[in-house]
């Protein structure tokens, strides 16, 4: 059994923000596959269970995402090496994706929470959103930057990026992380 978790923040205020890219990717994946989200108050997340995988979107704020992921992994007895976390990354150029297994959080508070709950051995699908230094010459705080909406030019590119992530998730579910890393990195 595999678990794919998209990271984001709840509420309309954050819906189109860079920090909600993990939610956007999973919402698109679920929609394309004809899945409907259900809510679990016990797990504090929205989820879809199909065959041998579970998709989740924690309903907590980003810095508590690991709590929901841990609860779902425990319930379904999913090993941490069968978890893939999908999230935004300011250390990658906009639109670039990178799959990895293991590693530090690089200051991403959602990943800090996942590491706190699971340890470091889980898969990551990092999606580049660039950094405020690249976009605005360092004049903007990182928190403000990731919580801001995409620019109109970036929004035009999002469907292609989200589709690329959907293909990577499909590959992960069908073939596993190592094969997917070889294809997409």
* Domain count across the chain: 1
Query: What CATH number has the domain bearing residue 14?
Result: 3.40.50.1470
pLDDT in tens, 49-101: 999 999 999 999 999 999 999 999 999 999 999 999 999 999 999 999 999 99
State the DSSP H helix or E strand holding residue 32, giving kind and residue range, or none if neither.
helix 21-33
State the DSSP H helix or E strand holding residue 171, giving kind and residue range, or none if neither.
helix 152-175
Whether residue 108 lies in the annotated active site: no
Q: In what order do the strands lie in the sheet with 53-58?
A: 38-40, 45-50, 53-58, 2-6, 83-89, 123-128, 97-101
Catalytic residue among 18, 19, 70, 166: 19
Q: Please give the span between the terminal C-alpha atoms of the chain, in angstroms, as a whole number.
A: 24
* CB neighbourhood size of 95 (10 A): 15
Model confidence, pTM: 0.94
Alpha-carbon distance values, 111 to 22, 58, 178 (Å): 12, 13, 20
34 CB-side CA count, 13 A:
0
Rounded to whole angstroms, the Cα distance separating 177 from 17 reads: 27
pLDDT in tens, 99-148: 999 989 988 999 999 999 999 999 999 999 998 765 555 555 788 889 99
Using the 8-state DSSP alphabet, how is residue 82 labeled?
Answer: G
Range of the domain at 94: 2-184
Report residue 17's pLDDT band, with 50, 70 and 90 as the boundaries: very high
41, with CB counted inside 10 A (0-12, 13-18, 19+), is exposed
């Amino acid at each position: 059994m595999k678990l794919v978790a998209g990271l984001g923040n709840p509420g309309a205020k954050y819906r189109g923000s860079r920090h909600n890219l993990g939610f956007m990717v999973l919402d698109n994946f679920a929609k394309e596959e004809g899945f409907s989200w259900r809510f679990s108050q016990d797990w504090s997340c929205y989820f879809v269970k199909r065959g041998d995988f579970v998709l989740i979107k924690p309903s907590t704020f980003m810095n508590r995402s690991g709590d929901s992921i841990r609860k779902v992994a425990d319930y379904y007895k999913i090993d941490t090496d069968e978890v893939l976390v999908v999230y935004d990354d300011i250390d990658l150029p906009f639109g670039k994706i990178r799959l990895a297994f293991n590693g530090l959080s690089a200051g991403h508070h959602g990943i800090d929470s996942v590491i706190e709950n699971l340890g470091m051995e889980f898969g990551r699908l990092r999606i580049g959103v660039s950094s405020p230094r690249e976009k605005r010459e360092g004049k903007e705080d990182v928190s403000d930057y990731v919580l801001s909406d995409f620019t109109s030019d970036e929004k035009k590119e999002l469907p292609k990026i989200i589709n690329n992530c959907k293909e990577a998730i499909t590959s992960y579910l069908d073939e596993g992380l190592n094969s997917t890393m070889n294809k997409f990195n």
